[in-house]
Amino acid sequence: SRSEIVPIPPTPRTTSTANQRANPIANPTTGPTANPAANQRANPMANLVENPRVNPPANNSANHTEDQRANPAVNPRANPTAHVAGPIERAGTPSTAGSTDSSSSLGDLDEEFAPTYTRRQAATLIAIEVEQSYERTCVMSTEQIAESFENPLQPHYFRGIAHESMWLNCAEKLTAILQKLIDFAKMVPGFRKLSLADQTILLKAEMFPLALIRMSRYYYAPNHAVVYNELATLPVQAFIPSNYQELQLVNIVFSIAREISGLNLSEEQLGVLSGYILFRDQPGIQNTFVVRRFQNALWYVLRQMLLDTFKATFPSTGNQTIINAVINLTRLLDEANVLHLEALRNLTTAAPNLRFPELYRDIFL
């Protein structure tokens, strides 16, 4: 018998300035009928998204994309009979190789891998590519991060630095992650099917939540601190807010890092979670069919991966299941996204001459 496919749970979306600022439909240069050349001039980020050859991601993996295409054993799309090991396989590969799955929750995903795969197999292979894209675009490996945990804590790192300078310093660190996230999105199956306008909407809406997921890799629970650079590990006290709103932002950012760290998600699971977050539907999306189909596929695989790993109730979530914990995490990510945009807007109102990195400004301002 086939496993029951659970439809994706509705994620509460906050009607706020976050969605308004994330929707470039109000800007005619990013609308579906805009001139592409004009759009690229108006939005420096546009060419990064549209042209995968621009700023290729640094290869942090031993398996290069070219190697995968040349080696069918590495790339399951090149060899349908190749064995794919790991929890993703258990999540998505049907027990009968020749069976078909007509479930509407996965949609017409087999067009991405047609005609060789069933929809469930297609969802599995999509998740594998998402996970590989995630690993290839991580700034630091888990081994490098673990070594950085040995750095001494620096609670006074920003002491004596102007408040605006602290923001600019953090924005520069975040911009390096933003570039990697754009590289990640360009490599994700399905994202390239979308128009430039739809790509821009998704990126602007989900960049900060995706960055927070990556930040969780740098979180060191014993000291409630994060690896800030190769030499400094900063506790929450190092970030000095100037008002209550910024204090809320700092607290929720560290809370999210602690929550994700407490779930003990693998790199593979973090990658699929990132793909799911990237494909959450947003106001103004034109091709909602592709967005929702890939979102459903990634949620299906992520859910099965989590259930395989945490068959019992996860201890740190009380009477909640691991699935409910992840759903609650998406709510926290949305809340942090709104707080970041509001705090940034208040800062730029008070200090309009601040010069943020160009990519940071294009996405958030």
Q: Could you tell me if residue 299 is inside a domain?
A: yes
- Residue 230's identity, in one-letter code, is E
Q: Could you tell me if residue 12 is inside a domain?
A: no
Please tell me the pTM assigned to this model: 0.71
Q: Could you tell me if residue 133 is inside a domain?
A: no
Please report the DSSP string for 278-330 in residue order.
Answer: HT---TT-S-HHHHHHHHHHHHHHHHHHHHHH--SPPGGGTT--HHHHHHHHH
- Kindly give, in sequence order, each residue whose CB lies less than 8 Å from that of residue 161, ignoring residues fewer than 6 positions away: 169
What pLDDT shows up at residue 315? 54
Q: Which residue has the tokens 């995706």?
A: 210
What pLDDT shows up at residue 231? 86
Domain count, the chain: 1
> Cα–Cα–Cα angle for 210, 214, 216, nearest 5°?
120
pLDDT digits (tens, 9 = 90+) for 107-159: 445 455 444 567 778 788 888 999 999 999 999 999 999 999 998 899 999 99
CATH number for the domain spanning 30: value is: 1.10.565.10
Residue 203 has pLDDT above 80, yes or no: yes
Q: Could you tell me if residue 296 is inside a domain?
A: yes
Closest listed residue to residue 131, CA positions, set 322, 333, 324, 298? 298
Q: Could you tell me if residue 242 is inside a domain?
A: yes
Residue 313 has pLDDT above 50, yes or no: yes
Q: Stretch 170-188: mean pLDDT, rounded?
A: 96
Q: Could you tell me if residue 263 is inside a domain?
A: yes
- Residue 9's identity, in one-letter code, is P
Q: Could you tell me if residue 46 is inside a domain?
A: yes
Closest listed residue to residue 334, CA positions, set 1, 105, 7, 10? 10
* Backbone CA torsion sign across 355, 358, 362, 363: negative
Q: Decide which of 204 and 39 is more confident.
A: 204
Residue 202 belongs to domain spanning: 17-56+149-364
Q: Could you tell me if residue 289 is inside a domain?
A: yes
